[in-house]
């Protein structure tokens, strides 16, 4: 910047000086010209006034009185010097300044005497009158060629007539040196003006450079430096650039790329560091793109990933709390896929196009959400009725009787058909589509899709347990349900035991060949693989990375203050208000603890967060009443003026709110009576960056299979749960850390991205019938089937592992 300023000043000095000198030079020339013309004009007028009188004297005849005559004409010393010459050029007389007379050039006078015309000349004459006269322009102003000082004279010779004859000449001589002096004065004044102008322009320019160039550039440089070191955010930059906004925009996008590249590099490095064990959203996206090799993924679920609802006068787009969105979105975004789901939001219809589609996520628009509309009757029969009053209790052994109504079943079928139509319409132009169906609401969908599109690879994941065959047999439409599911190429459950139950049910219900060794079903030439995929939660290295206990403590203390539980041990339960979650049993265990170990009175607080769920179903409404009454009873029994043992929060919380609760809780209670997996248990572990806290976990939750370092309990055994709580509260820091670290490592490695990638990998590896039939072209269908069966049997006999993978 210093050198730049020096160069700028030098350039300004040179530029302004050259321009100003050139302009002054022309000013001086013009001024001199004006002065010379003025002098010539004045002298001419004077001479013209004298000419008739002098000519009159010539006519009178020879005259010796010329000196007197001239003195008479030249009355003042300011008037030009005068000289009279006869027709031969001899001087008759002179008056006034006669210095130039001695330097008079004969040709000059001759022009007037012989040519009969007026002659004028500006002469530089050396101060030393002994020198020769010098012609105008032959020397620098004020100095002759030999360096002697000179003066400028103006001479004007007018011919004088006697009748028609030229009788002589009148010479007028004026000291014109003032013209030169004035020229010098103009130069002097210009020099001062130029100097002042140069100083002013340089100062103004330097100030402008400092304010408008140097400052933004310095700020931008500082911002870029901090960005390079990862100390500044991208958004900070743009505001500081002022008028350099276009540059700022380019730099901002450059900075964004830089930040993204840095994050990717850090993730990459971390992945390498952890021997590529940890799955991330980015890794899943890359993996999905590779597996789908340009193909599209179609996801179908009852619940949509984005819901538009009215909030007062505003419409809000909310993401329902669900690990599914976290796991599936990276795949859909990577392949610009389509998610088909029930449009359940009050404002959903206002946000779709004429094909019921919209691009999501709202601010990124990376994939398509296709909304399916259901009438109130359909919703009630298919969702609340058959799915949640029938299948939900049927699959959970929670001793709530399933209710099956013919009307609900009809609606369940027609709604499955409706979803089927929507999916088939969306995949019309896609070859070999890959479809991932979610959950027990859509059990008939695999069959509907495969019937119309045998080239589609279809997987369904059953998020709840699958009971044993006898229990499932309660359902009057078990054949249709199992038939619908078995049409899928891949059927996923959380646990191996659920797979076993399902295969057993197929054995009981369908005419199909079940392969217990390879966990597959062969029916009418179609193969289905049945596999366990234990679902999990997202693991964000950044969010879930290690953090000191002090940091976490600071973060959670406002929550404790808000709840008025400072200094108390916090026990936490987070669930949907559902009878399978064992909320009442948990409350009874707390009561048991307080009853049998009264030293915990005023020492512990149990916070139960229960989000309202399926509220129109009578069993859920009854559960809510039962939970509220139990909480009230326990509080009435033990509360003091300063303390309440149980706080019941009945609302949906944000992800951040839940994280704060998880981090503040000394102990988390997951006491489901039966649960496919239970994500709360894993969320609690993921949130505990401080590696502290205790998890009490029901042995009937799928998560208990993996999280063996939890305090595993039978939720029906109130005394045992109470004892586990006590054990947890009294557990030493070292033991807590050890267990927590082990469980966190498991969740980190088996996160939801890995879950999604495993299912996608297996689904993309599925061999479809037409691909198998291509092995034996040119033979009829029946023969082809035989070929296929024989080939499979041979493969199984030769290399069970290879064939298993090929069939999977």
Interacting span for ligand ADQ (CB under 6 A) from 113-121, 652-660, 739-747, 755-763: 652-660
565 touches 605 (CB < 8 A) = yes
Minimum CB–partner distance for residue 320 and ligand ADQ (Å) = 9
Residue with tokens 């449009």: 343
Query: Residue 129 carries which DSSP code?
Result: T
CA-based nearest residue to 180, from 141, 235, 137, 140: 141
Q: Are 721 and 671 a contacting pair, CB within 8 Å?
A: yes
Q: Kindly tell me which of 464 and 509 has the beta carbon lying closer to ligand ADQ.
A: 464
* 652 in contact with ligand ADQ (CB under 6 A): yes
Of the pair 248, 710, the CB lying nearest ligand ADQ is at 710
Q: Which is nearer to ligand ADQ, 323 or 330 (CB)?
A: 323
Q: Would you mind telling me the total number of residues written for the chain in this entry? A: 808
Instruction: Examine residue 319 and tell whether it contacts ligand ADQ (CB under 6 A).
Output: no
**683 makes contact with ligand ADQ (CB under 6 A):** yes
Contacting ligand ADQ within 557-596 (CB under 6 A): 574-576
Q: Which is nearer to ligand ADQ, 433 or 582 (CB)?
A: 582
| Binding flag, residue 611, ligand ADQ (CB under 6 A) | yes
Task: Say if CB 148 and CB 122 are below 8 A apart.
Answer: no
Separation CA 729–CA 726 (nearest Å)? 5
> Minimum distance between the CB of residue 683 and ligand ADQ, rounded to whole angstroms?
5
Q: How far is the CB of 438 from ligand ADQ (least distance, A)?
A: 9
| Helices 281-292 and 323-335, axial angle in degrees (round to 10) | 50
Local structure of 81: helix, strand or coil: strand
CA neighbours closer than 13 Å in the CB half-sphere of residue 266: 10
Residue number, 574 or 634, with CB nearest to ligand ADQ: 574
Residue with smaller CB distance to ligand ADQ, 80 or 323: 323
- Residue 676 as a binder of ligand ADQ (CB under 6 A): the answer is yes
Secondary-structure breakdown of the chain: helix, strand, coil percentages, each rounded to the nearest 5:
55, 15, 30
What is the residue-wise DSSP string for 445-475?
Answer: HHHHHHHH-TTSEEEEE--S----HHHHTTS
Which of 284/677 has CB closer to ligand ADQ? 677
In terms of CB distance, is 358 or 697 closer to ligand ADQ?
A: 697
Q: Does 323 bind ligand ADQ (CB under 6 A)?
A: yes
For the CB of residue 676, give the shortest distance to ligand ADQ in the complex, in Å. 3
Q: Is residue 267 involved in binding ligand ADQ (CB under 6 A)? A: no
* Closer CB to ligand ADQ, 416 or 678, in the complex: 678
* Binding test (CB under 6 A) with ligand ADQ, winner from 169, 456, 584, 679: 679
Using CB under 6 A as the binding rule, the residues of this chain from 760 to 799 that contact ligand ADQ are: none
Q: Does residue 244 bind ligand ADQ (CB under 6 A)?
A: no
Residue 653 is a binding residue for ligand ADQ (CB under 6 A): yes
- How many whole angstroms separate alpha carbon 591 and alpha carbon 696? 16
The DSSP string of 82-126 is EEEEETTS-EEEEES--GGGGG--HHHHHHHHTT-S-EEEEEEEE
**Rg of the Cα trace of the chain?**
53
Output the smallest distance, CB 450 to ligand ADQ, in A. 24
Question: Closest approach of Cβ 240 to ligand ADQ, in Å?
Answer: 40
Task: Give yes or no for a cis peptide into 683 (omega within 30° of 0).
Answer: no
For residues 109 and 169, the answer to whether their CB atoms sit within 8 Å is yes
Under 8 Å between Cβ of 182 and 35: yes
Q: Which of 306, 382, 316 is nearest to 344 (CA)?
A: 306
The correct pick among 378, 483, 675, 706 for binding ligand ADQ (CB under 6 A) is 675
Choose between 283 and 463: whose C-beta lies nearer to ligand ADQ: 463
Burial 191-223 (b: 16+ CB within 10 A, else e): eeebeeebeeebeeeeeebeeeeeebeebbeeb
Tell the smallest beta-carbon distance from residue 534 to ligand ADQ (Å). Answer: 9
Q: How far is the CB of 359 from ligand ADQ (least distance, A)?
A: 26
Min dist. Cβ of residue 463 to ligand ADQ (A):
4
Q: Which of 331, 583, 584, 658 binds ligand ADQ (CB under 6 A)?
A: 658
| # binding residues, ligand ADQ (CB under 6 A) | 20
**Footprint of ligand ADQ on residues 162-221 (CB under 6 A)?**
none
Q: Which residues contact 400 (CB under 8 A, 6 or more apart)?
A: 393, 579, 580, 619
Q: Looking at residue 675, what DSSP letter applies?
A: B
- Judged by CB under 6 A, the chain residues 393 through 432 that form the site for ligand ADQ are none
Nearer to ligand ADQ, 374 or 677 (CB): 677
Least gap, CB of 679 to ligand ADQ (angstroms): 4
The label of the residue with tokens 């003195």 reads 71
In terms of CB distance, is 245 or 318 closer to ligand ADQ?
318
Stretch that binds ligand ADQ, among 48-56, 90-98, 673-681, 751-759 (CB under 6 A): 673-681
Minimum CB separation of residue 775 from ligand ADQ in Å reads: 37
Question: Is 617 near ligand ADQ (CB under 6 A)?
Answer: no
Cis peptide bond prior to 361, omega within 30° of 0:
yes
Q: Which range touches ligand ADQ (CB under 6 A), out of 186-194, 248-256, 508-516, 678-686?
A: 678-686
Select the span of 108-116, 204-212, 671-679, 795-803 touching ligand ADQ (CB under 6 A): 671-679
Per CB under 6 A, the list member of 142, 242, 321, 532 interacting with ligand ADQ is 321
Given 528, 529, 678, 803, the residue binding ligand ADQ (CB under 6 A): 678
Which of these ranges, 199-207, 378-386, 466-474, 672-680, lies near ligand ADQ under the rule CB under 6 A?
672-680
Helical spans, DSSP H, in 149-176: none
- Does residue 463 touch ligand ADQ according to CB under 6 A? yes
Q: Which of 60, 300, 324 is nearest to 167 (CA)?
A: 60
* Contact status: 535 vs ligand ADQ (CB under 6 A): yes
CB 676 within 8 A of CB 501: no
Q: Which two tokens stand for residue 667?
A: 């102990």
Residue span binding ligand ADQ (CB under 6 A) among the ranges 35-43, 84-92, 377-385, 679-687:
679-687
Residue 680 sits in the site that holds ligand ADQ (CB under 6 A): yes
Among residues 167, 172, 499, 609, which is the contact residue for ligand ADQ, using CB under 6 A?
609
Beta pairing, strands 569-576 & 667-670: parallel
**Strand partners of residue 372:** 342
CB atoms within 10 A of CB 123: 22
Which residues in the 132-171 window bind ligand ADQ by CB under 6 A?
A: none
Give the ranges where 597-673 is alpha helix by DSSP (H). 618-638, 655-664
Sign of CA dihedral 242, 244, 249, 252: negative
Could you identify the residue written with the tokens 């005497």?
113
Q: Which is nearer to ligand ADQ, 122 or 306 (CB)?
A: 306
Which of 241-249, 448-456, 677-685, 686-694 is the region at the interface with ligand ADQ (rule: CB under 6 A)? 677-685
Q: In angstroms, rounded to a whole number, what is the distance separating the alpha carbons of residues 686 and 677?
A: 15
The contact set with ligand ADQ (CB under 6 A) reads 321, 323, 463-464, 535, 574-576, 609, 611, 652-653, 658, 675-680, 683
């Amino acid at each position: 910047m210093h050198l730049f300023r020096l160069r700028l000043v030098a350039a300004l000095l040179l530029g302004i000086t050259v321009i100003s000198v050139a302009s002054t030079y022309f000013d001086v020339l013009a001024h001199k010209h004006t002065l010379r013309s003025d002098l010539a004009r004045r002298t001419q007028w004077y001479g013209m006034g004298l000419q008739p009188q002098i000519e009159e004297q010539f006519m009178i005849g020879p005259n010796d009185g010329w000196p007197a005559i001239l003195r008479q004409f030249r009355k003042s010393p300011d008037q030009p010097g005068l000289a009279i010459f006869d027709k031969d050029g001899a001087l008759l007389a002179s008056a006034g300044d006669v210095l130039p007379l001695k330097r008079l050039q004969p040709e000059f006078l001759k022009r007037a005497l012989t040519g009969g015309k007026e002659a004028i000349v500006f002469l530089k004459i050396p101060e030393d009158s002994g020198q020769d006269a010098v012609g105008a322009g032959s020397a620098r102003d004020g100095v002759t060629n030999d360096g002697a000082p000179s003066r400028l004279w103006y001479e004007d010779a007018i011919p004088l007539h006697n009748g028609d004859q030229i009788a002589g000449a009148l010479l007028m001589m004026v000291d014109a040196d003032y013209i030169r002096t004035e020229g010098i004065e103009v130069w002097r004044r210009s020099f001062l003006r130029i100097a002042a102008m140069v100083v002013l322009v340089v100062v103004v320019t330097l100030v402008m450079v400092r304010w408008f160039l140097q400052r933004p550039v310095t700020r931008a440089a500082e911002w870029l430096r901090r960005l390079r070191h990862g100390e500044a955010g991208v958004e900070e930059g743009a505001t500081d650039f002022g008028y350099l906004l276009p540059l700022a925009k380019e730099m901002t996008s450059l900075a964004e790329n830089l930040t993204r590249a840095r994050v990717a590099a850090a993730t990459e490095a971390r992945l390498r560091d952890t021997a590529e064990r940890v799955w991330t959203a980015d890794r899943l996206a890359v993996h999905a793109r590779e597996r789908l090799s340009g193909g599209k993924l179609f996801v179908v679920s009852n619940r949509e990933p984005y819901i538009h609802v009215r909030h007062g006068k505003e419409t809000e787009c909310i993401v329902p709390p669900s690990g599914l969105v976290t796991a599936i979105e990276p795949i859909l975004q990577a392949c610009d896929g389509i998610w088909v789901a029930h449009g359940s939001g009050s404002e959903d219809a206002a946000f779709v196009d004429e094909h019921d589609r919209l691009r999501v996520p709202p601010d990124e628009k990376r994939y398509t959400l296709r909304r399916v509309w259901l009438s109130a009757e359909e919703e009630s029969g298919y969702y609340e009725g058959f799915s949640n009053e029938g299948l939900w209790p049927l699959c959970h052994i929670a001793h709530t009787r399933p209710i099956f109504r013919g009307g609900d079943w009809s609606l369940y079928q027609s709604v499955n058909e409706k979803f089927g139509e929507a999916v088939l319409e969306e995949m019309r132009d896609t070859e070999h589509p890959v479809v991932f169906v979610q959950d027990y609401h859509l059990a008939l969908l695999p069959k509907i899709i495969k019937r119309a599109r045998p080239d589609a690879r279809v997987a369904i994941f059953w998020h709840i347990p699958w009971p044993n065959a006898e229990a499932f047999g309660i359902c009057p439409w078990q054949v249709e349900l199992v038939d619908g599911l078995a049409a899928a190429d891949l059927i996923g459950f959380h646990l191996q035991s659920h797979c076993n139950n399902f295969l057993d049910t197929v054995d009981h219900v369908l005419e199909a060949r079940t392969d217990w060794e390879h966990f597959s079903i062969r029916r009418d030439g179609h193969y289905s693989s049945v596999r366990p995929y234990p679902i999990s939660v997202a693991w964000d290295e950044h969010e879930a990375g290690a953090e000191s206990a002090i940091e976490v403590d600071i973060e959670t203390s406002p929550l404790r203050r808000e709840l008025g539980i400072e200094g108390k041990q916090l026990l936490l339960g987070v669930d949907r208000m559902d009878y399978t979650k064992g909320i009442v049993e948990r409350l009874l265990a707390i009561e048991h603890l307080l009853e049998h170990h009264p030293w915990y009175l005023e020492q512990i607080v149990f916070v139960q967060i229960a989000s309202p769920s399926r509220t129109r179903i009578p069993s859920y409404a009854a559960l809510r009443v039962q939970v509220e009454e139990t909480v009230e009873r326990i509080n009435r029994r033990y509360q003091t003026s300063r303390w309440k043992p149980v706080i019941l929060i009945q609302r949906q919380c944000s992800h951040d709110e839940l994280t704060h609760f998880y981090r503040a809780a000394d102990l988390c209670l997951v006491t489901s009576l039966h649960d496919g997996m239970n994500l709360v248990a894993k969320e609690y572990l993921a949130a505990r960056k401080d590696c502290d806290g205790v998890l009490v976990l029901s042995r009937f939750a799928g998560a208990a299979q993996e999280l063996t370092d939890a305090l595993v309990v039978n939720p029906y055994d109130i005394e045992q749960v109470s004892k586990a709580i006590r054990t947890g509260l009294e557990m030493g820091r070292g033991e807590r850390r050890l267990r927590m670290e082990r469980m966190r490592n498991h969740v980190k490695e088996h996160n939801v991205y890995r879950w999604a990638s495993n299912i996608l990998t297996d689904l993309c590896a599925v061999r479809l019938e037409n691909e198998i039939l291509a092995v034996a072209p040119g033979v009829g269908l029946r023969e082809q089937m035989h070929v296929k069966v024989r080939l499979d049997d041979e493969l199984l006999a030769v290399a069970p592992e290879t064939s298993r993978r090929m069939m999977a």
